[in-house]
Structure formats: C-alpha cells, structure tokens
Structure 1
Amino acid sequence: MRRFLDKLYLVSGALAAIFTVGVLVAVTMSIVTRQLGVHIGGLNAYAGYSMAAAGFLALAHTFKSGEHIRVTLILSSLPAKGRMRLDLCALVIACIIAGNLCWFSFKLVLDSYAYNDISTSDDATPLWIPQISMAVGTLIFFIAILDETIRRYKGIPETIQSEEAHYE
C-alpha cells in the first residue's frame, strides 16, 4: 500500500508538471499567433485550465515533499509529546478541510455536467472537463493528508525533513 500511495503522489506531481508545460505552450502559442495576426479561440482559457490543473494536481506531491508552508515556531518550542499532539491536531483539521474541498469539488463537476455549463470563452468547453483535474487533485491531496495523519497517529515520524533541515 505504501508503494502505491507514494507512486500516486509522484504521478500526481508529474501530471502537474505536464500541465505546467501546457500553460507554457498555450501562452507561447497565443503570443506567436497574435504576432502572426491569426486568432485561435480559447488559448487563454486553456492556459487557465492548465494552470488550475497544475495547481490542484501538485497539492499532494508538494505536501508529501514537505514543501507546503508551515509555521514551526510554536512546534519547535514545545516538548516532543506536545509537538506530536499539536501536529496531529493540525493534521485532523487539515483532513476535515481537505475532505470538504474534495466533496464540493466533485459536487461542482457533477453540477456542471448536469446543467451543461460551458465556458463563456471562445472555446465553449463543457466546464466539467477542466474541473475534473480540480476534483482529482483535491481527492489525492485528501488521501495524502489522511495518510500522514494515520502515520503520525501510529507514531511514525514525518516522512520528510523539516524546513530548517533543508537549510542547515
């Protein structure tokens, strides 16, 4: 199971990187076609869809890599037992927030599909299609936080090193 989850986070990060390249391609094409006097409808919209996909799909990989911003001032001043309790409490709260975000992301996709919502841009893309990346990204993020919460509850230390260790 551990290998599957680690692979899931890695694949999610790789997809985020691919969508980041998609932003670059869409913006570059937009610039080049504008200079050539050619109009390709929806390039700006697809750059936005790719940017959103990259952001949401990167959440889990970034979290598991220890790259999310954390305020460690209070944690570092507590004894080990207090640090573990506060960290566990923060992870449980993060699970609740990420779970809600995941739930409402999937609800948004289903609602957009049910109401046939389409983009108001030139591309007229059904909105549920680009919204899938948000829903999947938040689901994988929720799984990553739940995974870390369970690991900490079992007493398994953080899988990544703290921010301070990166700079020492």
Structure 2
Amino acid sequence: MRKLLDALYDGAAWLAALFMIGVLLMVLLSIVSRLLHFHVPGTDAYAGYAMAGAGFLALAHTLKRNEHIRVTLILGKLRGKAKRALELWSLSAAVLLAGLFAFYSVRLAWQSHQFHDISTSNDATPLWIPQIMMAVGTAVLFIAFIDEWVLELRGQRHNNEGQETHHE
C-alpha cells in the first residue's frame, strides 16, 4: 500500500511539473506571437489553467515531503502525549477540511460539466476541463492527509520539524 500511495503522490507531482512546462510554453508562445505580430487567442487563460493545475497537483507531494509551512509555536513546546494529541487533532482538522475541499472541487467540476459552463474569455474553454485538475489535486491531498493521520495514529509518522531549511 505504501508503494501505491507514494506512486500516487509522485505521479501527481510529475503531472504538476508537466503543467509548469505548459505555463512556460504558453508564456513563450505569447511572447513569440507578439514579436512576430500574430495573435494566439487564449494563451493567458491556458497559462492560468496550467498554473492552477500545477499548484493543486503539487499539494500532496509537498505535504508528504514536509515542505508545507507549519506553525509550530505551540507544538514545539509540547512533549509526549500532549504533543501527539495536538498532532492528531490538527491532522483530524486537516482531513476534514481537505475532504470538504475535495468534495466541493469535484462537485464544481461535475456541475460545470452538467451545465456546460464555458470560460468568459475568447477561447470559450469548457470550465470542467481545468477544474478537473483542481478536483484531482484536492482529492490526492485528502488521501495524503488521511495517510498522515493513520501514520500518526500508528506512531509511524516522521516529523522533520527540527530540520528546518535555512536560506542565506
């Protein structure tokens, strides 16, 4: 199961990287088209869709690599059962919020598909297409938070809170 979950997180991260390449391509296409005096409609919109896709798809991988920003002001002062209780409470809240975020993201994409919503820009993209990446990203984040919650419950979760990265 661990290999499957890690593959899911890594797959979402690779997809996020591809979307970042998509952002780059849209920006380059926009620049080149202006320099050569032709217009490609929708490049700004597609760059935005790709950026949103990259951001949402990278969430779970970032969480699992301990790269999310955590406020450990109180947590750093606690030890033993109190620290574990606060971790479980925090992860429970995160599971709930991520679950709600995933549910409503999936629902939004589904409703956009049902109602044939299209973007207001001149490209008239069906909105469910870019919204799918938000739905997938939030669903994978929800799974990652459940994973973290279960690991904490079993006492197998590794926190690198003392290994903060310092940039000079």
* Cα distance in 1 for residues equivalent to 2:12 and 2:114: 27
Give the 5 Å matches for 1:85-100.
Answer: 85-100=85-100
Which residue matches 2:61?
Answer: 61
* CA distances 1:43-78 after superposition (whole Å, capped 9, x unpaired): 111000000000000000000000000011211111
* CA distances 1:83-110 after superposition (whole Å, capped 9, x unpaired): 1110110000000000000000011011
Which residue matches 2:121?
Answer: 121
Which residue matches 2:150?
Answer: 150
SS in 1 for 2:157: coil
Give the 5 Å matches for 1:1-168.
Answer: 1-158=1-158, 161-162=160-161, 164-167=162-165
More helix, by proportion: 1
Under a length normalisation based on structure 2, what TM-score does the superposition of the two structures give? 0.95
CA contact (8 A) 2:30 2:43 kept: yes
Question: Matched residues, percent identical?
Answer: 51
Residue type matched to 1:141 in 2?
L
Aligned-pair CA distance for 1:167: 4.0
Q: Which portions of structure 1, spanning 4 or more consecutive aligned residues, are displaced by more than 2 angstroms?
A: none
Aligned-pair CA distance for 1:157: 2.6
Aligned-pair CA distance for 1:35: 1.5
* Cα distance in 2 for residues equivalent to 1:113 and 1:79: 49
- Aligned-residue CA RMSD in angstroms? 1.2
SS in 1 for 2:46: helix
SS in 2 for 1:124: coil
User: Structure 1 stretch 125-134 or stretch 73-82: which is displaced more?
Assistant: 73-82
* Cα distance in 1 for residues equivalent to 2:58 and 2:157: 23
Equivalent residues, number: 166
Under a length normalisation based on structure 1, what TM-score does the superposition of the two structures give? 0.95
In the alignment, structure 2 segments of 5+ residues that lack a partner are none
* Cα distance in 2 for residues equivalent to 1:106 and 1:118: 17
Residue type matched to 1:43 in 2?
T
SS in 2 for 1:50: helix
The change in CA–CA distance for 1:114 and 1:167 in structure 2 (over 3 A counts) is closer
